[in-house]
Amino acid sequence: MPLLAIPFPTIDPVLISFGPLAIRWYALAYIAGILLAWRYMIVSVRNKALWNKTPHPNTTDIDDFVMWATLGIVLGGRLGYVLFYNLPYYLDNPSQILAVWEGGMAFHGGMLGMVVALFLYSRVRGLSALTMFDLAAIAAPIGLFFGRIANFINSELWGRPTDVAWAVIFPNGGPEPRHPSQLYEAALEGLLLFLLLRLLSHRFHLLQKPGVLTGCFAIGYGCARIFVEFYRVPDAHIGYLSGFLTMGMLLSLPMMILGTALVVWSLRRNAPKNKDVK
């Protein structure tokens, strides 16, 4: 064990309980992420300097979308975990599929759920789907940050054994100090990606080019996730798919490819049209 290994902080995953009812940090993280992302989207649509003459939703549109987003994230995240990470277990135990309080959410599933919610809501309200995607993209890192902090509190999704000075000894991770990979993800997928997208939206005004920020989010998340996967232990029931390849890497690669294609397409679509000189 390295001399400076950090013992896991004594944080109970259950904040408070009333008999059978328990309020968990994990649930609070989802609530905080959704509410703060909603407020950030509200502030963004009110900032006229970000839009110029670009059509965009109003605050009522964002308010009404919160429930759609919540359902998309929760249902998609749970179904994604069931399908991508532990399908044989849930086929044998179908009653556990809805037991969200016991853990088991997948980001890629939550993202797909959000995509469906965004498409449907945009169609119902007659809004630009790409603009709604961009607003969700710049706010999504807020939820990712809180979600990864909750993973750390739950002592789940920890990293590989290491001798770095900031290694953590997780209570359910054996005696070896491990990379706090949840905190790496909180920093990269959450804080760094948020700052990058804010720079692109506020300094370079890319909300005026619908689709670009969505593509940048997909690229940024994919890069961050693949990087951290080299330090994170894959799910025990899946392990490595081939060599160093993990399920997280496999699901992130299409995101990066589609994100790159969307950025290129959106920039070309929104490029100024040259006028013939007469």
| pLDDT, tens only, 120-140 | 999 999 999 999 999 999 999
d(CA 178, CA 232): 9
pLDDT at 158: 93
208: confidence class by pLDDT, cuts 50, 70, 90: very high
pLDDT at 15: 78
Question: Is the predicted pLDDT of residue 148 greater than 60, yes or no?
Answer: yes
pLDDT at 277: 47
252's CB contacts (< 8 A; 6+ apart) are 108, 221, 222, 225, 226, 229
pLDDT at 275: 53
Can you tell me the mean pLDDT for 137-157? 93
Kind and range of the H or E element at 39? Answer: helix 25-46
Chain segment 228-265, per-residue pLDDT in tens: 999 999 877 678 888 889 988 998 999 999 999 999 99
pLDDT at 177: 94
In 10 A of CB 230, how many CB atoms? 13
239's CB contacts (< 8 A; 6+ apart) are none
Question: Is the predicted pLDDT of residue 278 greater than 50, yes or no?
Answer: no
pLDDT at 19: 74
Domain boundaries, the chain: 6-269
pLDDT at 274: 61
Question: Is the predicted pLDDT of residue 180 greater than 90, yes or no?
Answer: yes
- Reference 135, options 201, 77, 221; nearest CA is 201
Which pTM does this prediction carry?
0.88
Can you tell me the mean pLDDT for 30-45? 95
Q: Are strands 14-18 and 21-24 parallel, antiparallel or unpaired?
A: antiparallel
**What mean pLDDT, rounded, does the chain reach?**
89
Question: Is the predicted pLDDT of residue 4 greater than 70, yes or no?
Answer: no
Q: Are 47 and 80 in contact (CB under 8 A)?
A: no
d(CA 263, CA 261): 6
Q: Are strands 6-7 and 168-169 parallel, antiparallel or unpaired?
A: parallel
Binding-site positions: 148
Chain segment 71-115, per-residue pLDDT in tens: 998 888 888 888 877 788 888 888 777 766 566 777 778 888 999
Can you tell me the mean pLDDT for 202-215? 97
If one compares 171 and 83, the residue with the highest pLDDT of the two is 171
